[in-house]
A = this chain, B = another copy of it.
Amino acid sequence: MLIPNWLARAAAQAPQRVALIAADVPCTYAELEQAATACASEIAALPIQPGSRIGLLARNGLPYATVVHALMQIDAILVPLNARLTPAEIAWQMLDAGCALLIYDDAHATMVEAIARDVPATGQRHRLGAGLQVMVMAGASSEIPSAPSLLLRATIDLAAPQAIIYTSGTTGRPKGAIITYGMQYWSALGSLLNLGHQRDDRWLAVLPFFHVGGLAILMRAVITMTSVVIHERFDAAAVNVAIRAHEVTLISVVTVMLQRLLADLDASGAALPTLRAVLLGGGPAPAPLLRTCADRALPVLQTYGMTESCSQAVTLPPEDALRKLGSAGLPLGSVELAIWRDGSPAPVGTDGEIMLRGPTITPGYWNRPDANTAVFTDGWFASGDIGRRDADGYLYVLDRRDDLIIAGGENIYPAEIEAALLAHPAVAEAGVRGAPDARWGQTPIAYIVPAPGQTLIPDEVATFLVDRLAKYKLPTRIIVVDALPRNGAGKLLRRELPVPENSRAAH
């Protein structure tokens, strides 16, 4: 289905309305469209075609938003790259997606030099406006782009991919979830049906745009012609100040952020009267935290979602914030939610796998027919997470995907860390699990078994991992053992790995 280009529509209907406030500087919809169009023309002059994948490695800010909108105008597919990953991890994703270009900001220039060693870059570099640069990949189309195919698009095809966002998988190899324009559209409208809609809403975006939760804020704003206040990084005091200064009405956070916002409010004694909802995602929240927020009349709504569901899929309705404390709420808009056990719906109140279906769910993973076959059944997406619905249909998320570790809102899959450990010549077996952490919620800890006749020194293994894994994925403790717990079939039983008394001790 074709619908009018969102940004063009916002620029035509509300040219003077503030689209973004970045570094406290407002940018209207007219200005944003002008910037995006100029950027689109520059990118269109490079060797790409409609459907080309374009990597983006940049801080949250106006340039990031400009590129997102520019790519939309030329039918190019955004591949937002997680700046917390190592150059090797990013290179792997770029190769998997077959990126034609890598767009990056000055802050990531050094990182890009490291990435360039692992990808077939041409050495060709171009400067875009706003401090952005482009590295052209050798695999990119060699043709000069034909003008008509890269015309600025007046309409958006809701079935077309807008982005490919990599998400770690249980098998350890990241998968590129395809995010269509339709997913963004239906997600935005589902959110608005749940939260209500004020034409002067302002959403503070402090989640990184390379995660779907951050990107969806940008999209939701332009779809609803409301405003986004962009923060480059999370600073509790700065966020609390910005909420008051810019009359922010909505914000999305993960647990660790909410804790720090509360601490800062305690310290400053300030209130946030304009805020009408705090969406809390990134894993189950501790009940005491939710109660504290309720006591302080901070309108926190738990939400459940993932890359594959284009951010929120299930969110607590505002009027149930207290009545259903601890629940992630009801499926949004046109999302269907079910709990399955052994391949069929489970009775009310029973635990089972959380299944999702609807127009906000990914059509599949990029070039991964195996993974698609594994997670889809009759259009139902198997989340891998365990949950339960109460008699009123409210979802309680009991456990995130099998063995998933969530550290400060970032998903970490043990298999990925184990694969990195197994790359060490002296490691015969590796097992990783999450351990509770007061600050981040969880951190990964690793158990390793030396190869016959080898000796393993934890610090040496930790050093080995540094170039291979993003910092947040590095085990906070590495423990050498003789054997790992396995079942009869030899499958690693990660939950039986012991949690050390003080898991935050240096490894």
Q: What is A's interface to B at a CB cutoff of 8 Å?
A: 1, 3-4, 12-13, 189, 192-193, 196-199, 224-225, 317-319, 330, 334, 336, 358-359, 393
Central interface residue in A1, A319, A359, by most chain B CB within 10 Å: A1
Let me know if B334 and A4 touch, CB within 8 A: yes
Q: Which of A198, A199, A318, A330 has the most CB of B within 10 A?
A: A199
A12 close to B393 (CB less than 8 A): yes
- A12 vs B329: C-alpha distance in the bound complex, in angstroms? 12
Task: Find A393's partner among B13, B198, B317, B319 (CB 8 Å cutoff).
Answer: B13
What chain B residues lie within 8 Å of A393 (beta carbons)?
12-13
* Copies of this protein chain in the complex: 2
How far, in whole Å, are A192 and B188 apart by their CA atoms in the complex?
12
Known: A199-B318, A330-B13. A224 touches B4 (CB 8 A): no
Q: How far is the CA of A359 from the CA of B2 in the complex (A)?
A: 8
* B12 contacts A224, C-beta separation under 8 Å: no
Residue of B nearest to A17 (CB): B319
The answer to whether A3 touches B193, judged by C-beta atoms less than 8 angstroms apart, is no
A88 to B359, CA, bound (A): 45
| Given A192-B197, A193-B225, A197-B197, CB of A359 within 8 Å of CB of B13 | no
| Nearest CB of B to A489, in Å | 39
Bound CA span A225–B195, Å: 12
Specify the main secondary structure of chain A where it touches its partner.
mixed
Looking across the interface, which residue of chain B has its beta carbon closest to that of A15?
B392
Question: In the complex, which residues of chain B have a beta carbon less than 8 angstroms from the beta carbon of A193?
Answer: 192, 197, 224-225
Closest 6 pairs between A and B when the two form their complex, measured CB to CB: A3-B334, A197-B197, A13-B330, A196-B197, A189-B189, A4-B336
By a CB distance below 8 angstroms, the chain B residues around A359 are 1, 3
Can you show 10 pairs from A to B with CB atoms below 8 A apart?
A3-B358, A3-B359, A13-B317, A13-B330, A189-B189, A192-B197, A193-B197, A196-B197, A196-B199, A199-B318
Known: A225-B193, A393-B13. A317 touches B199 (CB 8 A): yes
Residues of B contacting A318 in the complex (Cβ-Cβ under 8 angstroms): 199
Cα distance, A317 to B224, chains bound together (Å): 13
Query: CB-CB < 8 A to A330: which residues of B?
Result: 13
Interface-central residue, A192, A193, A318, A393, by most chain B CB under 10 Å = A193
Docked complex Cα distance between A4 and B331 (Å): 11
B4 touches A358 (CB 8 A): yes
Q: How far is the CA of A359 from the CA of B359 in the complex (A)?
A: 16
Least CB separation from A318: chain B residue: B199
Residues of B within 8 A of A199 (CB): 196, 317-319
Contacts of A197 in B (CB 8 A): 192-193, 196-197
Besides the known contacts A13-B330, A196-B196, A199-B319, 11 further A-B residue pairs in the complex with CB atoms under 8 A apart = A3-B334, A4-B334, A4-B358, A13-B317, A13-B393, A189-B189, A192-B193, A193-B225, A196-B197, A196-B198, A196-B199
A192: B residues at CB distance < 8 A:
192-193, 197
User: CA of A1 to CA of B333 in the docked complex: distance in angstroms?
Assistant: 14
Considering residues A192, A199, A334, which has the most beta carbons from chain B within 10 angstroms of its beta carbon?
A334
**Residues on B with beta carbons closer than 8 Å to the beta carbon of A1:** 359
- Shortest CB distance A417–B (Å): 39
Among residues of B, the one whose C-beta sits closest to the C-beta of A199 is B196
Q: How far is the CA of A330 from the CA of B318 in the complex (A)?
A: 30
